[in-house]
Structure 1
Amino acid sequence: MTEHLIRNGDVTLRAQIDGSEDADATPVMFVNGLCSTLESWDGVVAQLPPVLRVVRYDLRGHGRSDVTPAPYAMGALIADAERVADVLDVRGAAVVGLSLGGLIAQGLAVKRPDIVRTLVLSNTGAKIGTRDLWEERIAKVRTHGLATLADEMIDRWVSPGFRGAPEVAELRRRILGTAVEGYCGCAAAIAGTDFLTATSGLRLTTLCIAGSEDRATPPDMLQELAGLIPGARFELIRRAGHLPHLEQPEAFADLLIRFLSETGDLPGRA
């Protein structure tokens, strides 16, 4: 594992490479959701074959990346991902994006097809929520902090059967540890994003993953997303909510490994 600090204009982004250090190894790039850090992928990354070159990073305003003043434009978040990929020489990657990270992955695929070879879009959509909904949440957080939304977020994100798991306490800590500017900045980016037209123009091999108990981006939303991209496959992880990589990392990793095998991105596993 190697850690990198990558400058993109006004922000320094923390990135990490796991697995192979060979620049010619197949790259897999993970993009986080809101109120999350690159460590949220630990359970999945631990199960991936070491021949892969795994790249992940903290979004601006999150984890150990810089916090810049809100609001953020979606274009800025896509440019951050682009900069991480360029500095770390990521080309022809399988890009895995969850929730907000799925929006960023879609935008990156449209803008930089040299970076994105295949897509895995988990618990996301071409548009997530409404502008009014996100502006209401931003106003609450501005006034009362993230504690005012933490219980609501966990209720929407976590399946009922998982709520007593120790991982939920860590999820709460990550939510409460997120900078207000980081949350409000990224929420504003989500509020202003509608990729319906852009995503429907993609012609990439794509896997869309849903959690059966997801109340934030329900399975129907992922099925609709898969319908936008010709040939995209839809998979459902049962007994999982909005964060299947956290609740069921084995099932998530299995779907990802099978997808990489089918696309020829895993050597010896065609």
Structure 2
Amino acid sequence: MAYLELPSHRLHYRIDGGTSDDKPWLMFCNSLGTDMHMWDAQVDALSAQYRILRYDRRGHGRSSAPLPPYSLDDLGGDVLALLDALDIEQTHFCGLSIGGLTGQWLGVHAGKRLGNVVLCATAAKIGTAEGWAARIEAVRTGGLGALVPATAERWFTSQFHASEAQAVASVLDAFGAISPDGYVGCCAALATADLRKELERIGNPLLAISGQDDPVCPPSDLENIAAGARRGLHVSLPGRHIVNMESAPLFNAVLLEFLGSGPAVC
């Protein structure tokens, strides 16, 4: 296991796809409440073409949790610190939910470090400050376990639950193992994150992928991101919030086509 030690916490990361300098980099950024393994199907499909960098967001998976609250600046700064430590000048980027918000922040503030950008099941502003405050209070009083049933319903359709019960159970087990401080800290970042007026600053080729039945970030949120960025496209796939798992073969095909559709440098 590989770790980057930072002043307040450490980040767990993993590189797949070999060591060839001929391959472009592709970085994946997970959603709130998951770890890097949510991208396993994408790594299996794309590691022949790309050197793939995954990491556990602060407070998630094997990464440690500094004291909350966090900001979107903090989450974006973690990505840049990891790229700097690994001497990665530029990478394609794919993030889902809060990972997609992190990708938007990077596109606004550090677009030259990114090639093509894929933003999945996300929005320029997710939810409301009041809603995230209520979520924080629920975790502090009842723990993460109390959130599992509602989380499972938001993330996956009933059909996926039935057909891929083991995969769903694995994701929910990872959810239950997350540091409460890490989860609360990221909820605080979501409560204050609002990039709606800054999308036009993103000049990278951008693909917004929505889940057709996503109750968290519906297709209209992704359409707005694609319309707001300078070079944005939108596609909607079957599934709810964790659309990269529910529609993995389609998702992988769309991702491969988009990443190969144009130059990485804008």
Q: Output one character per residue of 1:88-114: Cα deviation in whole Å (capped at 9) or x when no partner.
A: 122231110100000111111222223
Q: Output one character per residue of 1:154-204: Cα deviation in whole Å (capped at 9) or x when no partner.
A: 111112211222211112111111111111000100111001122222111
* Secondary structure in 2 matching 1:163: helix
Which residues of structure 1 form unaligned runs of 5+?
266-270
* Secondary structure in 1 matching 2:14: strand
Letter in structure 2 aligned against 1:193: A
Counterpart contact for 2:201–2:230, Cα < 8 Å: no
Of residues 144, 154, 178, the one that matches 1:146 is 144
Of residues 47, 61, 64, the one that matches 1:63 is 61
Alignment of 1:52-201 (within 5 A): 52-164=50-162, 165=164, 166-201=166-201
Separation (CA, whole Å) in 2 of partners of 1:179 and 1:139: 15
Q: Cα distance, 1:264 vs. partner?
A: 4.4
Letter in structure 2 aligned against 1:243: I
Letter in structure 2 aligned against 1:74: L
Partner of 1:234: 234
Separation (CA, whole Å) in 1 of partners of 2:155 and 2:263: 33
Separation (CA, whole Å) in 2 of partners of 1:138 and 1:252: 31
Separation (CA, whole Å) in 2 of partners of 1:223 and 1:92: 26
CA RMSD in angstroms, aligned pairs only? 1.3
Counterpart contact for 2:16–2:47, Cα < 8 Å: no
Partner of 1:268: none
Give the TM-score of the pair, scaled to structure 1.
0.93
* Secondary structure in 2 matching 1:47: helix
Counterpart contact for 1:16–1:56, Cα < 8 Å: yes
- State how many pairs are aligned: 262
Letter in structure 2 aligned against 1:247: E
Separation (CA, whole Å) in 1 of partners of 2:98 and 2:127: 11
Letter in structure 2 aligned against 1:68: P
Which residues of structure 2 form unaligned runs of 5+?
none
Separation (CA, whole Å) in 1 of partners of 2:87 and 2:18: 13
Separation (CA, whole Å) in 2 of partners of 1:83 and 1:151: 35
Alignment of 1:225-264 (within 5 A): 225-238=225-238, 240-264=239-263
Letter in structure 1 aligned against 2:93: V
Separation (CA, whole Å) in 2 of partners of 1:230 and 1:243: 26
Counterpart contact for 1:110–1:198, Cα < 8 Å: yes
Partner of 2:213: 213
Counterpart contact for 1:23–1:89, Cα < 8 Å: no
Counterpart contact for 1:20–1:51, Cα < 8 Å: no
